[in-house]
Amino acid sequence: MSDERKYGPETLAIHAGAKPDPVTGSRNMPIHQTTSYVFESADHAADLFNLQTFGFLYSRLTNPTVAALEEKVATLENGRAAVCCGSGHAAQFLAFFTLLSPGDHFVASRNLYGGSLTQFGVSFKRLGWDCTFVDPTDPANFKEAIKENTKALFIEPLANPGGIVLDLEAIAAVAKDAGIPLIADNTMATPYLCQPMEWGVDIITHSTTKFLSGHGTSMGGALIESGKFDWTQGGRFPTMTEPDDAYHGLTFYETFGDFGYTMKARTVGLRDFGPAMSPTNAFYTITGIETLPIRMDRHVENAQKVAEFLDQHPAVAWVSYAGLKNSPYRDLAQKYLPKGPGSVFTFGVKGGYEAGVKVVEGVNLFSHLANIGDTRSLVIHPASTTHRQLSEEQQVEAGAGPDVIRLSVGLETADDLLRDLDEALSK
């Protein structure tokens, strides 16, 4: 996509980052299943290792198939540059490793995927990174939690698992006033439904395993920067503005400017910790993204029908889906997710924990497993699985209480899904 015309999301999903192979003419991006690349000369090799020229040197850092995916996701998110890696959790690790030093702090929404809550609240502490969790529905809570050593805010604009929609513009204003970046995990919404950078988000993470790949085949993660954040503010980000000993005193923001953050994540984070994405997974994800707009339209259409059905079902206590007229997040969804509020949401089954377990064991078409964003419809009981490591109080705060069931509504015939849920609820 070399010209400056404005293309639609459907066109970008297919064409961004995907050029015919210059050697063979292959229209699909080939899987470059190689570990390494031949250098033109000793000087060429030195320039690559010193970051004085761009190219492919080792597939832990750079690979042509992965690079095509990086260009595609950066384009879809209106970002400046991207780094792809082995999983969504790896993307979050790279995001914070590139920002933080021991003793630093960040503020995160308490309404996150359960694994993120554990990563931030437990594992990151071992690295000397401290996290404060807040109720994200009131942007003032982020402001109140910011400390002198706070380096970032982290949110899910469309929260997993509760279907909560956040006020992106207001939270971005808090981050801007504090001079710190706002990081958003856009996995649940995808760039087709939500454009966080249009509302002031500085950095986006993805589990590409989910909707971007779309078929439950390929693990992966992505980290995208807007290129608009000023890392020189107040000397708060030495990892970006001070000389790096590993590269002979190179300063990433000074040298690479508006893509310095992703360069640091790649050439230090990927280099030293190695959570690389495989070329094969990149290929499958590129292929999946080509149908992302069409799939998301169908996901949303089916989710709306399922949510409306459950909202009237006698065995259901409540439904949390921002597409329902009675949802407290409906107005925010129409602002930030005009094409629809995704296809992952929760509902409460009457009877609590035991009833929730019986429902997930009683479905037929819905697959009981720990994933979202598949073509197939998926169901899980978070309190007994993804959020099991949390206390009951923490589960409730995260929107994953004992009665909660999470659905990821797929692409099947909607009437078949309604019948399957009705039979399971009747049991």
- 278 and 302 together in one domain: no
Region 71-97: what's the mean pLDDT? Answer: 98
Kindly indicate the confidence band of residue 18, based on its pLDDT and cuts at 50, 70 and 90: confident
Q: Residue 304 maps to which CATH number?
A: 3.90.1150.10
Q: What is the pLDDT of residue 393?
A: 81
Query: Considering 257, 273, 288, which residue would you say is the last residue of a domain?
Result: 288
Q: Are residues 259 and 333 in the same domain?
A: no
Range of the domain at 411: 293-426
Instruction: Determine the pLDDT at residue 5.
Output: 59
Instruction: Supply 293's token pair.
Output: 């707009």
CA angle 47, 224, 86 (to 5 degrees): 80
Q: What is the pLDDT of residues 179-210, one digit of tens each?
A: 999 999 999 999 999 999 999 999 999 999 99
Q: Is residue 1 domain-resident?
A: no
- Average per-residue pLDDT for the chain: 94
Q: Is residue 418 part of a domain?
A: yes
Q: Could you tell me which of 111, 177, 86 has the C-alpha nearest to residue 140?
A: 177
End residue of a domain, out of 266, 288, 310: 288
pLDDT at position 410, please? Answer: 98
State pTM to two decimals.
0.94
* Whether residue 278 sits in one domain with residue 350: no
pLDDT in tens, 109-142: 999 988 899 999 999 999 999 999 999 999 999 9
- What is the per-residue burial (b if ≥16 Cβ within 10 Å, else e) of 382-403? bbebbbeebeeebbbbbbbbbb
- Count of structural domains within the chain: 2
367-426 pLDDT tens trace: 999 899 999 999 998 877 766 777 778 777 777 788 899 999 999 999 999 999 999 999
CATH of the domain at 282: 3.40.640.10
